[in-house]
């Protein structure tokens, strides 16, 4: 299983764009990159998933360079309610392989 490395914590202010970068140097050819958000005492919530280049949905964008050894989750115009832990995971979706959670990034949005 590919290991991921993320910053332990980040602070931002309301209305700013936040970029969280994840390193996954040992990503395998079949691995997808998935990001989850977790609030205290809740299960992780799926945010976005991608394989290469750029993926965008209604809540975030995911940027993946050509070598796929890292990825960046971009949250536009964050609000206080975006304060949460964000996890970056890599895994082979085709085989429903287990995901290994790293320490995640605690994002704190300040007023």
Partner 1 sequence: GAVVSQHPSRVICKSGTSVKIECRSLDFQATTMFWYRQFPKQSLMLMATSNEGSKATYEQGVEKDKFLINHASLTLSTLTVTSAHPEDSSFYICSAYSTSGGATDTQYFGPGTRLTVL
Pair of tokens at residue 45: 């919530």
**Chain residues in the site for partner 1 (CB under 8 A):** 32, 34, 36, 41-46, 49, 87, 93-94, 96, 98-104
Query: 19 vs 103, which CB is nearer to partner 1?
Result: 103
Distances in Å between the alpha carbon of 80 and those of 33, 59, 75? 26, 15, 12
Give least dist CB 15 to partner 1, A: 28
Give least dist CB 16 to partner 1, A: 26
Query: 74 vs 92, which CB is nearer to partner 1?
Result: 92
Pair of tokens at residue 28: 């395998």
Place of tokens 């994002």: 107
Query: 13 vs 101, which CB is nearer to partner 1?
Result: 101
10 within 8 A of 104, measured Cβ to Cβ: no
Give least dist CB 78 to partner 1, A: 22
108 within 8 A of 11, measured Cβ to Cβ: yes
């Amino acid at each position: 299983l590919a290991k991921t490395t993320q910053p332990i914590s980040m602070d931002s202010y309301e209305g700013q764009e936040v970029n969280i970068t994840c390193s996954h140097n040992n990503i395998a050819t079949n691995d997808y990159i998935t990001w989850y958000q977790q609030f205290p005492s809740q299960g992780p919530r799926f945010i976005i998933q991608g394989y290469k280049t750029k993926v965008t949905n209604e809540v975030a964008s995911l940027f993946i360079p050509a070598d796929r050894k890292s990825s960046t989750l971009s949250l536009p115009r964050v609000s206080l309610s975006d304060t949460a832990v964000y996890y970056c995971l890599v895994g082979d979706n085709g085989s429903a392989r287990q995901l290994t959670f790293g320490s995640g990034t605690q994002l704190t949005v300040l007023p």
